[in-house]
């Protein structure tokens, strides 16, 4: 759809987002895209991942198709203010959400997200490394139970039964 590019308000800069009024926040099939979703934006032969947010028209503004883009994304998409472009918003999956977070311009979004994603994958790695020793331990316990022992023999148990070295 044709949307006219406007500057994003100063407080919204460096957040990797665009603001699009509700009426124009649709994907290529015409389905509405809710606020806060990561989308792949196509404009002027360029594309990238941004979060789409809403925009409420001011009382004296015409209700034209507008898209508010910060200077960083205007540069990446090669867009000029007050020019109209064919803009397409494409829904993306969870992997694209993670890529958006990993590459976010705002350090308040990027750094905690990177720490949490690294921690998540280190936790998965720890679980994978813990499985082989756990399987061996379970096999050993099952082997001792099948031999008539309720648990693996301990040095203290051997000492009481007289099977091991005697202690005074």
Question: Of 55, 59, 40, 58, which Cα lies nearest the Cα of 5?
Answer: 55
Domain ranges of the chain: 2-96, 106-149
> How would residue 132 be classed by pLDDT, with cut points 50, 70 and 90?
confident
Question: pTM (2 decimals)?
Answer: 0.69
- Whole-number Å distance between alpha carbons of 117 and 101: 10
Q: Which CATH class is domain 2-96?
A: mainly beta
> pLDDT tens across 65-81, in order?
899 998 899 999 999 99
Assign 39 a pLDDT band (cuts: 50, 70, 90).
very high
């Amino acid at each position: 759809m044709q949307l006219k590019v406007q500057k994003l308000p100063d407080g919204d800069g460096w957040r990797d987002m665009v603001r699009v009024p509700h009426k124009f926040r649709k994907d290529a099939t015409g389905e509405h895209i809710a606020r806060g979703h990561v989308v792949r934006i196509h404009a002027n032969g360029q594309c990238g991942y941004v979060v789409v947010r809403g925009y409420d028209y001011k009382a004296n503004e015409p209700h034209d198709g507008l898209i508010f883009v910060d200077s960083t994304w205007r540069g990446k998409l090669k867009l000029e203010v007050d020019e109209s472009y064919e803009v397409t918003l494409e829904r993306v999956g969870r992997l694209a959400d993670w890529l958006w977070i990993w590459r976010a311009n705002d350090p308040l979004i990027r750094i905690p997200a990177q720490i949490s994603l690294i921690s998540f994958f280190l936790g998965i790695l720890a679980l994978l490394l813990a499985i082989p020793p756990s399987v061996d331990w379970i096999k050993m316990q099952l082997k001792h139970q099948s031999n008539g022992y309720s648990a693996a023999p301990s040095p203290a148990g051997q000492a009481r039964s007289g099977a091991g070295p005697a202690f005074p």
